[in-house]
Structure 1
Amino acid sequence: VMNILPIPGLDGGHALFTLWEIVTGRKVSDRVLEAAQYEGLVIILALLLYANGNDIYRFFIR
């Protein structure tokens, strides 16, 4: 399920950019794709840290 989210770096992000190309008829520039990949990586890492931090918090605090 996580892989189909429209976050760049995952398959859902690639599908989103492909859909954008179909709708506009133009290829997304490489600079935009690269920036989106970095932002997607930051989002994925933030989700990972949040989930792990939440687990650690629940284990030690509760």
Structure 2
Amino acid sequence: MKIYRFLTGDDNSAFCHKVTEALSKGWALYGEPTYAYDAANGVMRCGQAVTKEADVEYSSDLRLGQL
């Protein structure tokens, strides 16, 4: 089964590390990153979709970050 996650965070090195950690665990980038200005907090926010093949049956209880 292909699983999907959308990683989000402030546009900083912590977000880059989050994406890099996912890649090191076998996730693959899916599409282009997204950016938006969070006016309420005065920061840029970014997101990146990632996918991974996993030998599991789908359940809404899956902890996708642990696969």
Q: TM-score range by the shorter chain?
A: 0.3 to 0.5
Q: Greater relative contact order (Cα 8 A, min sep 6): structure 1 or 2?
A: 2
Per the normalisation by structure 2, the TM-score is 0.38
